[in-house]
């Protein structure tokens, strides 16, 4: 439903404030929805139309239950799209609406300007609707159960993507021509330029050249035997290209992959995105939009957004405090070599060069950082102390979680670990012709945390139906390297 004229006027007013503050956003279309519609949109990942699948129904069930029991309430949803669609809950008070409208504009600015969103499809609402239409068509043609089954399998591997491949070209997009393939590969070692001909044997000694040539030929031979030539992190792409799929299956897998890449930047920038939106709603409200009478309600709502949790990091809280901290530090010049080397704590605290660079800095940060390098670059020991961050660990003796460490280094390491690869394990396609039997070998790059083996088993089973041949995963379980396999007979584990 369209928003009322009153609300439209308020949105217009806040849009003005947001523009004055320097926010730069897509055109934003507000709609007002009731709780059922809100829950529906939220279960569909923010979109009005998705392909038919029970997982959305499951989400909806949870949302409805949890809303009924008063466990959650969604104030707004906003979609990274041009134009940006924002859904406001019709049960919000006016002051809440003001707050979330300001919040929405900041999100929208973030979507538009953050580097990690640069390659996302800005017409995703349309694209999602297209996906829905295609999946429905396949379901009608090939059978609902068949298509649903296949979708289940695809969704089971939808986190096996290479999040950076949107921005980095890992391999040539053009395939080598047929002619080029027929000619035997002749590696030529690099020759260094020699100004004088008589110096050449010294600058490019023949035996070194020969050795280099042999090494390269050997490498080429090794690579030929390997398929893919290099470990491939974009498992979905690999499957699309090499799994023996029917055209409709390949199309569905491509859709799942496309959607996974669309959502990945949001998972990569959760702390920053929420922090940024909270920073701006708070600033716009307190400095411009708020009337005196609304102050208490605003404070109440705002504080419930940024409350700190003992056993979980609140991305809103962490994000907004970091942005504020950065603004203050760059305003006062608390950065750079001189500041970093200053060991006098008191001097550091009172450090103020009156630079006034804060605002410019946070705009830069919102443009070029994601959560990982955001935390890496701006989480300081002072911040950590001030905000009482700690690491907790499980204590076996009493079956409880306990605070285990307040050291800056451990806290930072722990946060970064959790954010690495947006919280997903690194899985590579190692070999597409494993044991020369057309089997698929994946490798889990173990970085300290084991995989859930019950899930891993089911994923391997799903993969084996996509690949149609046995599938293996090399990983580490309880410190021992293991090969988990799903072969025709069933699931197997063996030590490597």
| Region from 99-107, 191-199, 258-266, 454-462 binding another protein, contact rule CB under 8 A | 454-462
Instruction: Please state, in angstroms and as integers, the Cα–Cα distance from residue 157 to each residue in 266, 466, 481, 489, following that order.
Output: 18, 10, 22, 22
DSSP-assigned beta bridge partners for residue 29: 85
Binders in 52-71 for another protein, by CB under 8 A = 52-58, 60-62
CB of 33 to another protein, least distance (A): 10
Cβ distance to another protein smaller for residue 84 or 459: 459
458 binds another protein (CB under 8 A): yes
Site size toward another protein (CB under 8 A) is 76
462 binds another protein (CB under 8 A): yes
Cβ pair 102, 16 in contact under 8 A:
no
Q: Is 446 helix (H, G, I), strand (E, B) or coil?
A: coil
Cβ distance to another protein smaller for residue 286 or 388: 388
Q: How far apart are CA 421 and CA 49, in angstroms?
A: 28
119 binds another protein (CB under 8 A): no
Angle subtended by helix axes 247-268 and 270-284, to nearest 10: 50
DSSP-assigned beta bridge partners for residue 481: 476
Ramachandran area for residue 45 (φ above 0: left; ψ -120 to 50: alpha; else beta)? left
C-alpha dihedral sign at 436, 442, 446, 450: negative
Task: Report the C-alpha dihedral over residues 30, 36, 37, 40, rounded to 10 degrees.
Answer: 130
CB of 92 to another protein, least distance (A): 20
| Region from 86-94, 170-178, 185-193, 404-412 binding another protein, contact rule CB under 8 A | 404-412
- Binding-site member from 45, 49, 146, 212 for another protein (CB under 8 A): 49
Cβ pair 420, 372 in contact under 8 A:
yes
146 binds another protein (CB under 8 A): no
Q: Is 269 helix (H, G, I), strand (E, B) or coil?
A: coil
Cβ pair 330, 324 in contact under 8 A:
no
Cβ distance to another protein smaller for residue 43 or 237: 43
Please provide the DSSP assignment of 171-193 as one string.
S-SSPPPHHHHHSPP--------
Q: How far apart are CA 5 and CA 58, in angstroms?
A: 36
CB of 46 to another protein, least distance (A): 13
| Region from 100-108, 117-125, 173-181, 401-409 binding another protein, contact rule CB under 8 A | 401-409
- Binding-site member from 16, 402, 409, 481 for another protein (CB under 8 A): 402
Up-side HSE of residue 131: CA atoms within 13 Å toward CB? 26
Cβ pair 272, 319 in contact under 8 A:
yes
DSSP-assigned beta bridge partners for residue 491: 486
| Region from 50-58, 246-254, 324-332, 365-373 binding another protein, contact rule CB under 8 A | 50-58
User: How many C-beta atoms surround the C-beta of residue 73 within 10 A?
Assistant: 13
Task: Report the C-alpha dihedral over residues 273, 274, 280, 281, rounded to 10 degrees.
Answer: 140
Binders in 314-353 for another protein, by CB under 8 A = 314, 317-318
Cβ distance to another protein smaller for residue 129 or 299: 129
| Region from 84-92, 253-261, 392-400, 464-472 binding another protein, contact rule CB under 8 A | 392-400
DSSP-assigned beta bridge partners for residue 27: none
| Region from 251-259, 331-339, 443-451, 487-495 binding another protein, contact rule CB under 8 A | 443-451
Cβ distance to another protein smaller for residue 213 or 373: 373
Cβ distance to another protein smaller for residue 178 or 309: 309
Q: How far apart are CA 418 and CA 139, in angstroms?
A: 38
What x/- string results for residues 226 through 265 when contact with another protein is judged by CB under 8 A? ----------------------------------------
CB of 234 to another protein, least distance (A): 14
Closest CA to 79 of 59, 35, 34, 49: 49
CB of 56 to another protein, least distance (A): 4
Binders in 156-185 for another protein, by CB under 8 A = 156-160
- Binding-site member from 411, 429, 466, 471 for another protein (CB under 8 A): 411
| Region from 181-189, 284-292, 335-343, 384-392 binding another protein, contact rule CB under 8 A | 384-392
Strands 400-405 and 480-487: unpaired
445 binds another protein (CB under 8 A): no
| Region from 255-263, 293-301, 339-347, 449-457 binding another protein, contact rule CB under 8 A | 449-457
Binders in 1-40 for another protein, by CB under 8 A = 36-37, 39-40
CB of 330 to another protein, least distance (A): 24
In the chain, what is the greatest distance between 2 CA atoms, to the nearest angstrom? 88
CB of 469 to another protein, least distance (A): 19
């Amino acid at each position: 439903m369209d928003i009322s004229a009153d609300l439209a006027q308020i949105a217009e007013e806040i849009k003005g404030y947001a523009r004055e503050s320097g926010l730069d956003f897509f055109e934003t279309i507000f709609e007002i929805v009731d709780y059922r519609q809100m829950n529906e949109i939220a279960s569909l990942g923010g979109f009005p139309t998705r392909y038919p699948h029970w997982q959305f129904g499951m989400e909806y069930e949870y949302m409805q239950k949890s809303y009924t029991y008063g466990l959650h309430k969604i104030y707004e949803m906003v979609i990274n799209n041009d134009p940006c669609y924002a859904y406001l809950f019709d049960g919000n008070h006016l002051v809440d609406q003001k707050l979330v409208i300001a919040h929405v504009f900041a999100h929208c600015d973030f979507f538009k300007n953050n580097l990690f969103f640069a390659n996302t499809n800005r017409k995703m609402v349309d694209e999602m609707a297209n996906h829905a239409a295609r999946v429905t068509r396949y379901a009608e043609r090939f059978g609902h159960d068949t298509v649903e089954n296949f979708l289940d399998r695809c969704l089971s591997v939808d986190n096996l993507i290479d999040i950076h491949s949107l921005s980095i070209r890992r391999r040539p997009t053009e395939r080598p021509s047929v002619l080029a393939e027929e000619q035997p590969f002749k590696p030529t070692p690099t020759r260094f330029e020699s100004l004088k001909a008589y110096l050449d044997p010294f600058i490019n000694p023949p035996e070194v050249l020969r050795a280099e040539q042999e090494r390269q030929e050997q490498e080429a031979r090794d690579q030929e035997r390997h398929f893919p030539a290099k470990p491939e992190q974009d498992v979905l792409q690999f499957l699309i290209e090499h799994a023996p799929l029917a055209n409709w299956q390949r199309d569905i897998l491509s859709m799942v992959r496309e959607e996974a890449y669309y959502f990945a930047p949001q998972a990569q920038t959760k702390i920053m995105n929420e922090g940024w939106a909270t920073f701006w709603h708070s600033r716009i409200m307190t400095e411009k939009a708020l009337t005196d009478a609304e102050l208490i309600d605003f404070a109440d709502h705002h504080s419930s957004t940024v409350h700190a949790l003992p056993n979980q990091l609140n991305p809103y809280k962490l994000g907004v405090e970091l942005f504020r901290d950065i603004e203050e530090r760059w305003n006062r010049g608390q950065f750079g070599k001189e500041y970093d080397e200053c060991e006098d704590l008191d001097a550091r605290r009172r450090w103020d060069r009156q630079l006034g660079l804060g605002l410019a800095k946070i705009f830069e940060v919102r443009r070029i950082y994601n959560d990982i390098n955001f935390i890496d670059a701006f989480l300081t020991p002072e911040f950590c102390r001030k905000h009482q961050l700690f690491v907790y660990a499980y204590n076996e003796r009493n079956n409880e979680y306990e605070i285990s460490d307040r050291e800056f280094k451990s806290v930072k390491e722990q946060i970064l670990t959790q954010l690495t690869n947006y919280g997903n394990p690194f899985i590579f396609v190692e070999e597409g012709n494993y044991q020369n039997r057309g089997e698929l070998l994946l490798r889990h790059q173990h970085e300290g945390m084991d995989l859930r083996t019950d899930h891993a088993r089911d994923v391997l089973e799903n993969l084996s139906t996509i690949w149609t041949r046995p599938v293996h995963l090399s990983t580490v379980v309880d410190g021992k390297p293991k090969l988990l396999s799903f072969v025709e007979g069933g699931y197997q584990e063996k030590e490597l």
